[in-house]
Amino acid sequence: MENASGNAVKMDQCIDRIFREVLENISSDNLMNSQTRNCLKMCPFSLLMMKIEKIVRIRVVPQFWSKFNNSINKDSKEGFQDFTDSVDELYENSKKFISVIDRLKESISCVHQNCEFKSDQLIKHVRHYIQGTILSQIPLQHTIIIEQFYKTAFNVFCNIEALQQPCDFPTNNELIICEGCKQEKKNCRCQVIVNIFHKTNEKLIDLGLLERLSGSVLTSLIHIRIKNYVFSVSCNSFNQSQIGNLEHWLDTVVMNWLVRIYTGGSSKMAGLPDKFRNAISTFKQKLSYFLYETYTRVRIQQLFNIILIFPDSQPALDDLRVCLKKNDLRKYLISNLQFNVKTRLLHPGVSTPDILTTYISAIKALRQLDPTCTLLEIITDPVKLYLRGREDTVRCVVSGLLNESNANNLANEIMRNKPINQDLSSSNDTAQKDSNNSTQTKKENWENWQPDLIDSENEFDLKPDLKSDLKSSLFGIYSKITPCKAEPNSAVISKNENSDLISMLVNVYGSQDLFVNEYRSLLADRLLSQLDFQTEKEYRQLQLLKERFGEQQLLSCEVMIKDLCDSQNINNNIHNDQTYMSHFKAFDTSALILSAQFWPPFKEDWKLELPAVVQQQLQKYVLAFESFKANRSICWKTHIGNVNLEIETQDRKLTLNVSPIHATIIIHFQDKNEWSLDQLSEVMHVPTTVLRRKIGYWVSQSLLIETSNDVFVLVDKLDPDNSKQFTDLTQNILEDDEDIDSAMASVSDQREEELQIFWSYIVGMLTNLDSMPLERIHQMLKMFASQGTGAVECSLAELRQFLDNKVKDHQLLYSSGLYKLPKS
C-alpha cells in the first residue's frame, strides 16, 4: 500500500513537471509570427500527448500489470484485492491525465483567446492509448487474478441469490462459514465484496476495458456455472422436463448478474446505453446456446439409461428432441449411443430377453426422437446383427409374443398393430406391389418430403454380409436389410416397415421363415404339454399372427391346433365305441393324434420301450382307431405324453402326473426292487445318460435311492428323519429341468438337416478340385445347388459352421484356410 501511494505521489509530481515544461515551451513561442503560430497551434498538445504516452507506456501500464505477473501463488482473496487496487490505480491515473489536459486548455485559452482546442478528442485519444498499451503489454498469466476476482464476486452473488430462494436451494443454516466469501459468518465480507465489485466494474466500463479484460474470463466462469447447474439439475432424473427450469434460471440468475456487471450494481437494464444492451443480448444468446448444448450433451450421455426406463423417461426424451433441433449434436448422439449399446448391451453378460426389451424400448424411444427412423436404423443395426448371432433370439421373441404377462408387452403390441405385409404367396408379386405402393405414397406426400439425414457414413460397414445376401434380399422382400440410400424409394419403404414393431423384431433375422419355424416349435411344445384340450388362446394368437404373416406361412400351425380338436373328437368316439369299451381296460387311455407332416420333427434318437401292460392297452387303442377311421393307422410316440399315476408304498400314497418315461421306470421297479442303470437301459431302450437324468426325479421323490454306483433300489418305507427336507430341496431343481426339455428337435438341428443336401455337392467338388477355401465353396453352391424354387439358402457363416461340424466329425480336413477331404 505504501508503495502504491508513493507511486501515486511520484505520478503527481511527474505530471506536474510535464505540465510545466509544456507551458514553458508555449510561452517561448509567443513571439513567433502568426503563421508559425498557426502551424504550431496543436504543438503544445502534441507535446503533452507525447509526454503522456511515454509515461503511460513506461510507468502506468507496467505498474498496472505488475501485480498480475507474480500471481500464481496467491489465494483468491489476495487476487481480488490486487485486481481492485490495480484497476483503482489505473482509473486514478487516467483521471489525472484528463485533468492535466483540462488545465492545459485553461492555460492556453488565457494566452490565445481564439484557440480552437478540442479537448474531447484528446481525452479520447488518451483513453485509446491507455487501452491499447494495456492490451499490448498483457502478461501471460493475467487471467489468474481476473478469474479470482470474478469468481469471488460470483460466489458471493450466487450465494445471495440462493438465500433469496430458500425453497429451491435449502441452505444449511448451521454453517459457520459464509458460503459466499468463505469467511466466518460474523465477519462476512459479502456486502463489501459486492460493493467493491460493482465499483471496479464501473471503473472498467469507464476505461472501456471491461469486455477486453474480463470478457473471456467471465464467459468461462459462466460456462462452468452453467455446466454445474445443468449437471445438478438433470442428474438421474428423467421424469421431469428441465428446459423451462433451465431457461428460467438463465434468465434470472445468470442474466441478473451480467446486467449488474454492466450497470455497476442495479439490476435494471433500462438505464443502459444501447451499446451495452446489445452486448448483453448477444451474450445471452450465446449463453442460451451454450446452455442447450450442455444440456443436450448431458442427456445424450444419459440416453442409454433413458431408453432403459423408456416410458417413464418420456419428459427427458421430449427435452432431448427439442434440444436436438437447436444444435448439431446428432453425430455425437449416434457415436455416444452406439458406444453405450456396444459396451453395455451387446456382450455375453446380458440375457437375450433383456437385450430384446432394450431393443424394443430403443425402437419406441428413438422413433420419437427421429420420426424418419434413420437414427433408429443406424443405432439398432448393430443390435440386430448381434441378435442374429444369438441362438435363443427367436425363441425369446416368440415367447414374448405369446406370453401376455411378459414385461415387454409384445402380446399387446401384436393386437394393436395393423398388419402391413399381407399376401406372401409370391415374393416377386409382392415386391412389385410394394414398389408400386411406395411410388404412390411418394406422389401423395411429395410436398412434405424431407431429405433423409446423411449422418450415416458407416452404414455400409455395418453390413459386411450384405453382398453375399444380395440374392436373398432381392427376392425375399422381408430381408430388407439393404441400406436406406441404396434405392430411391427406400425411405418410404423403410418408414412403413419401421412403423411396425413386430416386423422389426421379426426382421432381426432378415426373414420370417425362421421366425415362423420357431413359433411352430414353441406352439408344438405348448400344445403337447397341455393337459386339457383347450386351444382357444392359441387359436386367437394364431389368428393375430396370421393377419401379420399371411395364411400360407402359418398353415401348419393351424393344422396343429386342428389336430388337437380332432383328437378330442376321436377320443370321445372311441370311448363310446362298444367293442373297445367291452374289452378289459387296464386304465383310461386317450391320445393326441397328430398330422406328422405339419408338426416340427420330433427328437427321436431312441424309442422308448413301454411296459407290456401299457403296450397292450395302447395297441387296443390303435385297433379302435383303425376301425373308426378306415385305412388309417396310428403310430405311438411313446416318449411323449402324460401319465397320471397313483403310487402306494407302505407308508405313503402319491398321486403324480409324470411323463411316460418316468412312469415306465417306476413300473419296472414295481416288478423288481433293484435295477442297475445298464439293465434298465436295455429293457427300456433308453440311453443311460438320459435314464440317469430321469431317475433323478424318483430319487427326489424319495422313492428310489442310489445304493452303489449306477444301482438304484426302491425305498418302500421312508426313513422318517432326514429325507423330507432333502425332497423339497431337489424337487424344484428337477422340475425346472423338465420344463426346458422339449420334445421337438431344435431349430438349429432342423437347419443342419436342411444343409445336409449340400453335403453331396461339397463332396463332389472336393473330389474334383482337391482343396478349396470357404468362399469358393460358397460361390459354387450358390451357382449350382441353390437354383430353382424352394432352394435352400445358406449364408457364409452358416456354411462355415456346417463345414466345421464336418471337420469335427473327421469327414473333412481343414488346414491353412482350405477344406479338403480326408484321404481314405
User: Does the protein bind another protein through residue 716 (CB under 8 A)?
Assistant: yes
User: Does the protein bind another protein through residue 649 (CB under 8 A)?
Assistant: yes
Q: Residue 411 in contact with residue 401, Cβ under 8 Å? A: yes
At residue 654, φ and ψ (nearest 5 deg) are -115, 140
Longest Cα pair distance anywhere in the chain, in angstroms? 158
Out of 666, 699, 744, 747, the only residue in the binding site for another protein (CB under 8 A) is 666
Say how far apart CA 350 and CA 756 lie, in whole Å: 33
For another protein, the closer of residues 73 and 631 by Cβ is 631
Q: How far is the CB of 558 from another protein (least distance, A)?
A: 7
Q: What angle is formed at CA 211 by the lines to CA 210 and CA 213, rounded to 5 degrees?
A: 70
For another protein, the closer of residues 510 and 641 by Cβ is 641
Say how far apart CA 573 and CA 577 lie, in whole Å: 6
User: Does the protein bind another protein through residue 617 (CB under 8 A)?
Assistant: yes
Say how far apart CA 292 and CA 298 lie, in whole Å: 10
User: Does the protein bind another protein through residue 590 (CB under 8 A)?
Assistant: yes
Out of 470, 596, 729, 791, the only residue in the binding site for another protein (CB under 8 A) is 596
Identify which range of 8-16, 131-139, 205-213, 555-563 contacts another protein by CB under 8 A: 555-563
For another protein, the closer of residues 23 and 667 by Cβ is 667
Q: How far is the CB of 441 from another protein (least distance, A)?
A: 34
User: Does the protein bind another protein through residue 637 (CB under 8 A)?
Assistant: yes
Out of 473, 641, 701, 798, the only residue in the binding site for another protein (CB under 8 A) is 641
User: Residue 563 burial by CB count (10 A; 0-12/13-18/19+): exposed, middle or buried?
Assistant: buried
Say how far apart CA 420 and CA 182 lie, in whole Å: 67
Q: How far is the CB of 527 from another protein (least distance, A)?
A: 10
For another protein, the closer of residues 703 and 799 by Cβ is 703
**Number of Cβ within a 10 Å radius of residue 632:** 9
Q: Residue 515 in contact with residue 747, Cβ under 8 Å? A: no
- Looking at residue 770, what DSSP letter applies? S
User: Does the protein bind another protein through residue 549 (CB under 8 A)?
Assistant: no
Identify which range of 119-127, 173-181, 628-636, 765-773 contacts another protein by CB under 8 A: 628-636
Element at 713 (helix H, strand E): strand 711-714
Q: Residue 613 in contact with residue 586, Cβ under 8 Å? A: yes
* Cα–Cα distances in angstroms (integers) from residue 449 to residues 321, 372, 443, in the given order: 20, 11, 10
Say how far apart CA 369 and CA 64 lie, in whole Å: 54
Query: What residue type is assigned to position 246 of the chain?
Result: L
Q: Residue 198 in contact with residue 265, Cβ under 8 Å? A: yes
Identify which range of 13-21, 374-382, 641-649, 678-686 contacts another protein by CB under 8 A: 641-649
Q: Which of residues 493-512 bind another protein (CB under 8 A)?
A: none
Out of 153, 218, 502, 528, the only residue in the binding site for another protein (CB under 8 A) is 528
User: Does the protein bind another protein through residue 587 (CB under 8 A)?
Assistant: yes
Q: Cell numbers at residue 778, please?
A: 460358397
User: Does the protein bind another protein through residue 42 (CB under 8 A)?
Assistant: no
Strand order in the sheet with 674-676: 674-676, 711-714, 704-708
User: Does the protein bind another protein through residue 314 (CB under 8 A)?
Assistant: no
User: Does the protein bind another protein through residue 175 (CB under 8 A)?
Assistant: no
- Looking at residue 240, what DSSP letter applies? S
Q: What angle is formed at CA 338 by the lines to CA 333 and CA 341, rounded to 5 degrees?
A: 125
Out of 614, 747, 755, 781, the only residue in the binding site for another protein (CB under 8 A) is 614
Say how far apart CA 362 and CA 508 lie, in whole Å: 14
User: Does the protein bind another protein through residue 632 (CB under 8 A)?
Assistant: yes
User: Does the protein bind another protein through residue 529 (CB under 8 A)?
Assistant: no
Q: How far is the CB of 806 from another protein (least distance, A)?
A: 29
For another protein, the closer of residues 40 and 667 by Cβ is 667
User: Does the protein bind another protein through residue 555 (CB under 8 A)?
Assistant: yes
Q: How far is the CB of 674 from another protein (least distance, A)?
A: 13
User: At which residue does the C-alpha cell 513537471 appear?
Assistant: 17
User: Does the protein bind another protein through residue 667 (CB under 8 A)?
Assistant: yes
Identify which range of 11-19, 217-225, 305-313, 661-669 contacts another protein by CB under 8 A: 661-669
User: Does the protein bind another protein through residue 594 (CB under 8 A)?
Assistant: yes
User: Which residues make Cβ contacts (< 8 Å) with residue 759, sequence separation at least 6?
Assistant: 806
User: Which residues make Cβ contacts (< 8 Å) with residue 629, sequence separation at least 6?
Assistant: 570
Out of 643, 785, 792, 807, the only residue in the binding site for another protein (CB under 8 A) is 643
Task: Draw the binding track, 786-805, toward another protein (x: CB under 8 A; -: no contact).
Answer: --------------------
User: Which residues make Cβ contacts (< 8 Å) with residue 22, sequence separation at least 6?
Assistant: 44, 47, 48, 51, 104
At residue 606, φ and ψ (nearest 5 deg) are -145, 155
Q: Which of residues 75-114 bind another protein (CB under 8 A)?
A: none
Out of 34, 35, 450, 597, the only residue in the binding site for another protein (CB under 8 A) is 597
User: Does the protein bind another protein through residue 154 (CB under 8 A)?
Assistant: no
Q: Cell numbers at residue 488, please?
A: 430411391
User: Does the protein bind another protein through residue 595 (CB under 8 A)?
Assistant: yes
User: Does the protein bind another protein through residue 651 (CB under 8 A)?
Assistant: no
Q: How far is the CB of 743 from another protein (least distance, A)?
A: 8
Q: Residue 305 in contact with residue 238, Cβ under 8 Å? A: yes
Say how far apart CA 22 and CA 366 lie, in whole Å: 78
Task: Draw the binding track, 688-707, toward another protein (x: CB under 8 A; -: no contact).
Answer: ---------------x----
Q: Residue 741 in contact with residue 704, Cβ under 8 Å? A: no
Q: Cell numbers at residue 62, please?
A: 507496467
User: Does the protein bind another protein through residue 475 (CB under 8 A)?
Assistant: no
For another protein, the closer of residues 569 and 805 by Cβ is 569
User: Does the protein bind another protein through residue 647 (CB under 8 A)?
Assistant: yes
Query: What residue type is assigned to position 534 of the chain?
Result: Q
For another protein, the closer of residues 602 and 814 by Cβ is 602
Identify which range of 118-126, 319-327, 389-397, 634-642 contacts another protein by CB under 8 A: 634-642
For another protein, the closer of residues 2 and 646 by Cβ is 646
Say how far apart CA 276 and CA 282 lie, in whole Å: 10
User: Does the protein bind another protein through residue 180 (CB under 8 A)?
Assistant: no
User: Does the protein bind another protein through residue 744 (CB under 8 A)?
Assistant: no
User: Which residues make Cβ contacts (< 8 Å) with residue 319, sequence separation at least 6?
Assistant: 241, 242, 243, 295, 299
Q: How far is the CB of 785 from another protein (least distance, A)?
A: 21
Say how far apart CA 253 and CA 35 lie, in whole Å: 63
Identify which range of 281-289, 368-376, 450-458, 630-638 contacts another protein by CB under 8 A: 630-638
Identify which range of 7-15, 172-180, 307-315, 624-632 contacts another protein by CB under 8 A: 624-632
DSSP helix/strand/coil, 499: coil
Q: Which of residues 562-581 bind another protein (CB under 8 A)?
A: 562, 566
User: Does the protein bind another protein through residue 686 (CB under 8 A)?
Assistant: no
Out of 322, 462, 634, 821, the only residue in the binding site for another protein (CB under 8 A) is 634
Q: How far is the CB of 628 from another protein (least distance, A)?
A: 11
Say how far apart CA 94 and CA 537 lie, in whole Å: 92
Q: Crossing angle, helix 677-684 and helix 688-700, to 10 degrees?
A: 110
Say how far apart CA 796 and CA 551 lie, in whole Å: 31
Q: How far is the CB of 591 from another protein (least distance, A)?
A: 5
Interface residues with another protein (CB under 8 A)? 528, 531, 555, 558-559, 562, 566, 586-599, 614, 617-618, 621-622, 625, 629, 631-638, 640-650, 655, 660, 663, 666-667, 669-670, 703, 714, 716
